[in-house]
Structure 1
Amino acid sequence: MTQTVTEHFSEQLSLRARALLHGMGAELPTPGTLLARSPISGGILLPLTIDTPTTVDAAIGRAAGAFPAWRTVPAPVRAAVVRRLAELLVAHQGALAELVTLEAGKISAEALGEVQEMIDVCEFAIGLSRQLYGATMPSERPGHRLMETWHPLGVVGVISAFNFPVAVWAWNTAIALVCGDTVVWKPSETTPLTALACHTLLRRAAVDVGVNPEVHQLVQGDATVGHALVDDPRVALLSATGSVRMGAAVAPRVAARFGRCLLELGGNNAAIVAPSADLDLAVRGIVFAAAGTAGQRCTSLRRLIVHRSIADEVVGRIAAAYTQLRVGNPLEEGVLVGPLIDERAYTAMQEALVRAGQEGGVIVCGGERVDLIGPDAYYARPALVRMPKHTELVREETFAPILYVLTYDDFDTAIALNNDVPQGLSSSVFTLDQREAERFLSADGSDCGIANVNIGTSGAEIGGAFGGEKNTGGGRESGSDSWKAYMRRATNTINYSTELPLAQGIHFG
């Protein structure tokens, strides 16, 4: 493909992005030095202006200024803006999903699924607005009642990553809003246009239901913009999604000002395949978890731990499935693997494959670049690599479609291998042996925040809390009781007697 054709294709993608933004009611951004690129072609979609320390300070100030009134609105009434947002997401699902594809490179089915996830978490948050429960406990003192109440926390800063450019924002924002918080969002500089679209839809939802749109702010730019959120004492909670390296830098700075952190960091996820496993089911789950989103999910499957007796068969089946995966333009029907986000991601993949060979690994298939659209787009075939042991490389997370295969002889060894990484996000086991399944889910089984049986490591549902342990950061978002991270708790003692007894039977005076 000639450069002229590539440039023409990039221009068509840019025009499409402009049309999608216009259709969702977003004003085209003021041109600047932040370049929104499409990994499909590597070309520029739109140039945007980077926020400055002054404009970030003003955005935080607006969110802080809106908070006092917003926190006094009853939670079920606050849910009205989230309900309207869900309606707008339904109306613009196709357009927003296409914008996700243009900016993040996801295939259409996954992009539509991500927007559906936004709709689902809005529905969850709407119901949650009537279930922000506090407990009542028996008091040891007669004529007293002991209880706890939950109150809005303040300004929530959200720093999101490119691989789920809209869903993770929705997880945080829908719940934070019904909890009575205001939000300042700093999206990945790789996906600023999807952020602009979401911000537009939320502010429209706020206006439609009579809510002050200043409850949500958007700031765009590089890491220096994120640093402003990290260090500002007006940001009560910082929810940050990204690398372990990023989390290690962010957490001490937030702690130094006694702020709160909710961290969703790296995952080096494993699946165990036991001799009793349904291999047809296992192979489907493994291929989707390892190759989906071009291996660029935090829950992507990166390590496969297979019983030695079935290892050759399992590897052969996966290799055969990999040959059927169509790599290409994610806008085209039938494509299952889109591009890596940029050159850096491709380089990291190639460096990891070289190291794998140096550490005794054998590439079964994949790993090569597919030159489809020009020199600035990076497509690669998912790689399957057999490793002789659990090396340092295997213990690292490479954000690319590489699946390392290890073997085991007994289930204790398999669990030990699963846990022998610094990260602790997601894990799974494929087995029809109930004892193995229950052991995997027990206290001495998987040490991850997500542990699945007969399903892959990716594809979490809204209803369950999402997050992981160890270097993954320990945060929980989305379902279950993750709402508690966005609120402060007060313990209340009410004396309805005419006496003043002290706790622990103390007598004074």
Structure 2
Amino acid sequence: MPVFLLFNRVALNRVVMRRDVIELSATNIIRRKLHLLQNQAFINGKWVDALSGQKFDVTNPVNEQTLGTVPDMNVDDLNEAIDTAYQTFYSKGWHTSTSKERAALLKKWFHFLETNRQEIARIMTSESGKPIAESLGEITYGNSFVEWFAEEARRVYGEIVPTPQANRQMMLIKQPVGVAGLITPWNFPHAMITRKAAAAIAAGCTVIIKPAEDTPLTALALTKLAEEAGFPKGVLNVVTSSRKNAASIGELLCRSEKVAAISFTGSTEVGKLLYKQCANGIKRIGLELGGNAPFIVFDSADLNKAVDGAMNSKFRNCGQTCISANRFLVQDGIYDRFMSRLLERVKQLKIGDGSQDGVQIGPLINRSQLTKVSQFVEDAKQKGAEVVCGGKQLPEHGSLYFAPTIVTRLRNDMRLYNEEVFGPVISIIRFKTEDEALKIANGTQRGLAGYFYSTDLNQVFRVSKLLESGMIGVNEGLISSAEAAFGGIKESGIGREGSKYGIDEYVYIKYLCYGNLE
């Protein structure tokens, strides 16, 4: 099975997918009038334009053609959404809804998401550029959070606490915090919304979603299906905006007294700013921020598994994932064999329009990202690194394509060594000892994910404890799952998403003490 058929369900859908994805383009999408393709935001159960009447274009990164326009909202629109979500939570009684009712809504949403997976994938591929197989894989992953939290909604348990006094009864109960503001990124426009929104709604919160300006159409498609699933008005709201208004919208979400929680996935720099803005109100905040993931290949590693893991971890979504391997540390004894096998695999990657069957590498999301990746590679070259393959733009495919790249002879004064590239670039660092590898791997303030390959059991347990990351793949390059607690340490964020802990971000514990009992 090709590397990028990451989920079993993707493979099962390939036969159906082939006919659907041939010659997909912006023009084809519009002509086919996909019922999930929306051009308005969603507030209080209504599809609305911006109060200012302003709009912005959404483009296909494959050819930079316009897919459509959506409202360019500002703080006036957001205030309306905040008021709606606040009133729905309190005045309209969403906070008193039962866990069974919320679970039923989420299950119905999950059903609608599954039924419409092909259409969602076509929209996602068109606005993000990722290969259609990866879009379908993300939908499987994203939908799993809706299913998971539909089940977890009925397991938000409290506690009976043994009391030191005979005439008292002590209880701990969990209650929803209120309105949750969810700010999501462009690289996983489906899964980052469902992972946050499903948890918040399961807990009993109302939500306001601010999707990334590059990929709002996927968010609106999910919202359309939530509407069809029967979500009450005001429970789920979506505010779209261009980059021009993004900062002011984020600040208002953080500073509004009516918003109780913020969840953000994105860069560490923006995360720090939101953290500061939330401080004035001591607001609940969850942050999933940038990484600088090490990928360590020890001499004892299974070579085939290590190369497979490297390809999966690095080139999914053209390297534009927060847990993508960033620094590849390869031990002396296996270095030459690993490099030879890796180079062979990288050269086989199929580059092109992600809507075409079999394509594994699509474009970068926008010109800013293309410039960043190009500058990182050029910086390394100028400082003495060797570009083994790639290292250049591919205008024959489109203006936003960058070749899958391998760079060796890295030094610690290079940007590729110290910063997250967020692109299809493998940076190789050669090492001699385990201690040396751990020193390099842990020599960063980022600690989201890490990977290592070894068949030495003692080393596996030792390195697992010493590697400073919130998530670690041991002999595995794909670690995400709805059942797992997703999150980092250091400057890579606070809080966890997914798993049984995901709901904790949206509830608080209330202590009840019943005294003077007879």
Please report the TM-score for the alignment, with normalisation by the length of structure 2.
0.89
Q: Could you list the runs of 5+ residues in structure 2 that have no partner in the other structure? A: 1-22, 42-48
Q: Could you list the runs of 5+ residues in structure 1 that have no partner in the other structure? A: 1-10, 499-509
Checking the alignment, whether the CA contact within 8 Å between 2:81 and 2:237 is kept in structure 1 is yes
The answer for the alignment partner of 1:17 in structure 2 is 29
The answer for the alignment partner of 1:451 in structure 2 is 472
1:262-341 correspondence runs (5 A): 262-341=286-365
Superposed CA RMSD: 1.8
1:164 Cα deviation from its structure 2 partner: 0.5
Give the letter for the 1:381 counterpart.
A
Query: 2 CA distance for matches of 1:179 and 1:430?
Result: 38
Query: 2 CA distance for matches of 1:434 and 1:135?
Result: 39
1:57-456 correspondence runs (5 A): 57-68=79-90, 69-206=93-230, 211-221=231-241, 222=243, 223=246, 224-374=248-398, 377-393=399-415, 394-442=417-465, 445-456=466-477
Checking the alignment, whether the CA contact within 8 Å between 1:356 and 1:387 is kept in structure 2 is no
Checking the alignment, whether the CA contact within 8 Å between 1:59 and 1:217 is kept in structure 2 is yes
User: Does the residue aligned with 1:217 lie in a helix, a strand or coil?
Assistant: strand
The answer for the alignment partner of 1:35 in structure 2 is 57
1:319 Cα deviation from its structure 2 partner: 1.0
Query: 2 CA distance for matches of 1:21 and 1:481?
Result: 40
Query: 2 CA distance for matches of 1:291 and 1:181?
Result: 36
Query: 2 CA distance for matches of 1:38 and 1:473?
Result: 30
The answer for the alignment partner of 2:20 in structure 1 is none
> Alpha-carbon deviations, 1:412-455, whole Å to 9, x = none?
2212211111211111110100111111222xx11111012101
Percent identical: 29
Q: Structure 1 303/27 Cα, relative in aligned 2: closer, same or farther at 3 Å?
A: closer
1:496 Cα deviation from its structure 2 partner: 6.0
Checking the alignment, whether the CA contact within 8 Å between 1:328 and 1:372 is kept in structure 2 is no
Larger deviation, residues 262-271 vs 126-135: 126-135
Equivalent of residue 460 in structure 1, options 480, 483, 486: 480
Checking the alignment, whether the CA contact within 8 Å between 1:78 and 1:177 is kept in structure 2 is yes
Query: 1 CA distance for matches of 2:479 and 2:391?
Result: 24
User: Does the residue aligned with 1:403 lie in a helix, a strand or coil?
Assistant: strand
Q: Structure 1 123/496 Cα, relative in aligned 2: closer, same or farther at 3 Å?
A: farther
Q: Structure 1 275/472 Cα, relative in aligned 2: closer, same or farther at 3 Å?
A: same
The answer for the alignment partner of 2:12 in structure 1 is none
Q: Structure 1 410/331 Cα, relative in aligned 2: closer, same or farther at 3 Å?
A: same
Checking the alignment, whether the CA contact within 8 Å between 2:379 and 2:414 is kept in structure 1 is no
> Alpha-carbon deviations, 1:75-107, whole Å to 9, x = none?
121111111110110110010011110011111
Query: 2 CA distance for matches of 1:474 and 1:276?
Result: 34
Query: 2 CA distance for matches of 1:166 and 1:173?
Result: 11
Query: 2 CA distance for matches of 1:331 and 1:16?
Result: 11
Larger deviation, residues 391-400 vs 192-201: 391-400
Checking the alignment, whether the CA contact within 8 Å between 1:32 and 1:47 is kept in structure 2 is no
1:181 Cα deviation from its structure 2 partner: 0.1
Query: 2 CA distance for matches of 1:56 and 1:287?
Result: 41
Checking the alignment, whether the CA contact within 8 Å between 1:219 and 1:225 is kept in structure 2 is no
1:25 Cα deviation from its structure 2 partner: 7.2
**Number of matched residues?**
479
Query: 2 CA distance for matches of 1:38 and 1:245?
Result: 27
User: Does the residue aligned with 1:370 lie in a helix, a strand or coil?
Assistant: coil
Query: 1 CA distance for matches of 2:337 and 2:505?
Result: 45
Structure of higher CA gyration radius: 1
User: Does the residue aligned with 2:118 lie in a helix, a strand or coil?
Assistant: helix
1:24 Cα deviation from its structure 2 partner: 2.7
Give the letter for the 2:461 counterpart.
E
Q: Structure 1 267/21 Cα, relative in aligned 2: closer, same or farther at 3 Å?
A: farther
Checking the alignment, whether the CA contact within 8 Å between 2:37 and 2:123 is kept in structure 1 is no
1:368 Cα deviation from its structure 2 partner: 1.6
The answer for the alignment partner of 1:475 in structure 2 is 495
Give the letter for the 2:331 counterpart.
H
